[in-house]
Amino acid sequence: MNQMQSIEEFTKRIKRILITEEEIKTAIAAAGKEIDKLYDGRPILLVSVLKGAFVFLADLCRAVSVPCEIGFMCAKSYYAGTTSSGVVQITMDLDQDVKDYHVVIVEDIIDTGRTLADVVKLLQGRTPLSLHVVTLLDKPSRRLVDFEADLSLFTIPDHFVIGYGLDCGEYYRNLPYIAEYAADGN
């Protein structure tokens, strides 16, 4: 689905809204307060693994009052079958040296957990002052590795979801809510 044919095609793929815009705003405000409490005025580095979490990162950075910088990474992991090869390819690395930072990885969704677990391991190897993971969505029924975020805003069932930064074929990132995607348009 690289070329969207029409607005009708676009909208018929939105099966149903799972998490409303207002629910997201409320959860992010609460997460911002938790992060403020955790870091108690100490500066942090919010890190987004592109592309899906950029919308969440933008709103979360405005919800915290502690001083913060932002950073971006692109990472790809290669797996053979059900076993991780342990190879994470960083296609875009952070500009910051994390050893001087309290790092908070801001993730859109934790599904199998493999790539994020590898990114966390990679960043921990760079010896940050501390490292925490906050995710907008958690889908534990799909987890293939033992990994949990320090803070999950919503736990969802095993649906393919779109909106609020999450995409299908690069579309739907602009939706202000999280919706279930209808592959068949019904």
Two structure tokens written together for 139? 């889908």
Residue 36: count other Cβ atoms within 10 Å of its Cβ.
15
Catalytic residue (one of 36, 93, 100, 111):
111
Question: Which contiguous run of DSSP H or E holds residue 141?
Answer: none
| Peptide bond just before 99 cis, omega within 30 deg | no
Is 100 tagged catalytic?
no
Contact 103, 38 (CB under 8 A): no
C-alpha span between 137 and 64 (Å, rounded): 19
Residues annotated as catalytic (active site), given as ranges: 111
